[in-house]
Amino acid sequence: MDKDQLQENIAKRVAQELKDGQLVNLGIGLPTKVPTYIPEGVSVMLHSENGFVGLGPTPETVDPTIVNAGGQPVSIMPGGCFFDSAASFGIIRGGHLDVTVLGALQVDQEGSIANYMIPGKLVPGMGGAMDLLTGAKKVIVAMEHTAKGEPKILKRCTLPLTAKSQVDMIVTEMAVIEVTSGGLLLTEIGEGFTLEEVLSATEADLIVSESLRTCLQ
């Protein structure tokens, strides 16, 4: 499985978590692939912290003033609107976002997340990540399970935290994991992987669900 297919599989599974009528914020990178796979009959409104609600796909004629938080050109769907950063972060901090989907460098078994910097490397900034993690009703982390063969789901994050104990769900190419008060609950295994492979690629302790199933993207 190449990297593009791997990320598509993650995006497909995340899309299944979205419900009709929700207001959803998507982080840069992998999360921006999610709208392609939203199930038929489900309509969500996409929010971008740089001042848009109602983001649509990349248009044929690009308007350089309409971009998502990652700087990628997008369109605005009928009913969408523009506003300043103060209003945008008011939406986030006011608890009006139903879901945010973010990438991560590390997540730990308490639901803490590190996703904005590696010490010693140039960092563009965390953007709206801290606000999104604490303001959204549901936080989904969409990421690859490992980085250069090393686990990204840890007992404790070793990189600087973006937020503590805010993640609700982790979706990787290998697994779907829910963050519960009792720990990390493994509910699904990615198609083509075994339980042993998931456990081996995860440093954190996993509770294996009694109804564990294969995740078919």
What are the pLDDT digits (tens) for 35-94? 999 999 999 999 999 999 999 988 889 998 899 888 889 999 999 999 999 999 999 999
Annotated active-site positions, please? Answer: 49
In this predicted structure, what is the pLDDT of residue 165? 98
Q: Give CA–CA dist 77/167, Å, rounded.
A: 29
| Residue 179, number of CB atoms within 10 A of its CB | 22
- 3 state SS of 68: coil
Q: Which pair of tokens denotes residue 132?
A: 């999104």
Residue 5 burial (CB < 10 Å; 0-12/13-18/19+)? Answer: exposed
Q: Give CA–CA dist 207/217, Å, rounded.
A: 22
In this predicted structure, what is the pLDDT of residue 217? 55
**pTM tops 0.75, yes or no:** yes
The two beta strands, 146-147 and 150-151, are: antiparallel
Strand ranges, E, within 155-194: 169-171, 175-180, 183-190
Q: Is-contact 56 80, C-beta < 8 A?
A: yes
Q: Count Cα atoms within 13 angstroms, Cβ side, for 155.
A: 2
Give 111-132 pLDDT, tens digit per residue: 999 998 888 887 767 778 999 9
